[in-house]
Structure 1
Amino acid sequence: MDYDYGYGAMVAFWLILAPILLILAIAGYVIGAFFLMKVFEKAGVQGKWRAWVPVYNSLVAAKLGDLSPWVMLGAIVASALLGQIPGIGWIFSLVGLAAWVLSGWRIGLKLGKDWPLLLLWLIPGVGTLIWVGILAFDKAPWNPNIAPAPWANSFLKDTTVWQGIPVQPGAAPAAPAPGAYPPPAGYQPPAGYAAPGAPAAPTPP
């Protein structure tokens, strides 16, 4: 009889706690997405909706942090799948966090904040919200012209170009216009030649 009472109490406890946890999770996501939207605006990202789409907002943040969005996506998927392995799954669950730490460090630098600010992430539940809130409402402007990332020459480097998201310095090179190729070394245009759209140089009489 005592066993039935204990089981019923546990069920009642979870029935009360589950909605509270769900509300807190939704509230945390809404607040985090709002803060992230402010950071995206500072960085010149077009479209506020990008900050509100799960997973995609992490890929945009990765690009702003000089990290390949495909590496970020792979880290998220690996964390979700491999994190379920009994015993060692918790190790793989840190892969997504590591990708966020790398991009978060670079985003912070571009907003005038050094890596110690990331220590806020150690505060359970609200640390990340405090971090992104500071970046969102701090008066420091976005400055992408910082030293290249340590992984600038590795597969971690961002080489993708997405419309509406500014290409960071040192990332993917701008694609040349169709039909535009650099002239060979030592080439000199013929006398009187002018580039298209420019007035022709006058020829001597």
Structure 2
Amino acid sequence: MDYDYDGGAGAALAFLLILLPLVLIFVLAGYIIGSFFLMKIFEKAGVQGKWRAWVPVYNWMVFAKLGDLSPWVMLGAFVASAILGQVPVLGWLLSLASLAALVLAGWRVGLKLDKEWYYLLLWLIPGVGGLIWLGILAFGQARWNPAIAPAPWAGNGFLADRTTWDGVPAQVSSGSAGYAGPPAGYTPPPAPGYTPPPAPGYAPPPAGSTPPPASPEPPAAPEPPASPDGPPAPPRP
């Protein structure tokens, strides 16, 4: 019997038995913290129902809608990556697709909370980078602002969000259902107290000057005499 082999296998098994619970604890803690941060972001965005932030996968679908990305694209990327993730090359490409969907939605959500794209570089920190990024969005002082420039994919294509979910507000910048732009030819009313600018070339009169009197209207033309009703009388002799 090879005691050295048995001893090495036993040590590896003991290491796994110790490591596995630690990994599960870290994964569970990361999920709880991430879901809590998502809940705070959803509250800022006006999403109804705190439970949405605690449902796996679905919470990121809601996040995708807030980021002007179709939630079904996010779901498809997650499912494809989970099922085909072990296939050589294809699994690596699918994992990149999931990351790309998260980056697109995260970029748009960051803009609506007054954060520029470079905050996404925090994701490069292994393990905790994404949580730090979510925490900055969740507890930042900026208010939710959906009225930003539309996403490049908002007009058409499979990335555009066209779904309508009760409890999840439609985003103005996504072009999704529930929002319609102003009609053609629409001119917004002026703000209270607004004075339109003068016409080009107009010079205001100097201070203290008297405006010229208005030109009198020309007199009306006299009306012609009325014609007699009967024939004229004959001349007298």
TM-score, normalised with respect to structure 2: 0.72
The reply on whether 1:171 has 2:167 as its aligned counterpart is no
Following superposition, the deviation at residue 84 of structure 1 comes to 1.4
Task: Give the aligned CA root-mean-square deviation in angstroms.
Answer: 1.4
Following superposition, the deviation at residue 87 of structure 1 comes to 4.5
Tell me which amino acid in the other structure corresponds to 2:127: G
How far apart, in 1, do the equivalents of 2:113 and 2:12 lie?
Answer: 47
1:145 corresponds to which residue? 147
C-alpha contact (below 8 Å) 1:62/1:100 kept by paired residues = yes
Higher RCO (CA < 8 A, seq sep 6+): 1
Unaligned runs of 5+ in 2: 181-237
1:61 corresponds to which residue? 63
Superposed counterparts of 1:81-92, under 5 Å:
81-92=83-94
C-alpha contact (below 8 Å) 1:66/1:106 kept by paired residues = yes
Report which stretch shifted further, 98-107 or 83-92.
83-92
Superposed counterparts of 1:71-86, under 5 Å:
71-86=73-88
1:158 corresponds to which residue? 161
Q: Deviations over 1:76-101 (max 9, x none)?
A: 11111221103442222221111111
Superposed counterparts of 1:1-205, under 5 Å:
1-153=3-155, 154-169=157-172, 170-174=174-178
Following superposition, the deviation at residue 174 of structure 1 comes to 2.8
Pick the structure with greater CA Rg.
2
**Matched position secondary structure for 1:93:** helix
C-alpha contact (below 8 Å) 2:85/2:95 kept by paired residues = yes
Unaligned runs of 5+ in 1: 177-205
How far apart, in 2, do the equivalents of 1:97 and 1:73 lie?
Answer: 12
Following superposition, the deviation at residue 175 of structure 1 comes to 8.8
Structure 1 or 2: more helix by fraction? 1
* CA separation of 1:90 and 1:175: change in aligned 2, threshold 3 A: closer
C-alpha contact (below 8 Å) 1:67/1:103 kept by paired residues = yes
How far apart, in 2, do the equivalents of 1:175 and 1:137 lie?
Answer: 28
Q: Deviations over 1:161-187 (max 9, x none)?
A: 0000000014323399xxxxxxxxxxx
C-alpha contact (below 8 Å) 2:150/2:175 kept by paired residues = no
How far apart, in 2, do the equivalents of 1:87 and 1:172 lie?
Answer: 35
Percent identity over the alignment?
68
Q: Deviations over 1:24-69 (max 9, x none)?
A: 1000000000000000000000000000000000100000000001
Q: Deviations over 1:6-26 (max 9, x none)?
A: 110000000001001101100
Across the two proteins, how many residue pairs are aligned to each other?
176
**Matched position secondary structure for 2:60:** helix
C-alpha contact (below 8 Å) 2:60/2:74 kept by paired residues = yes
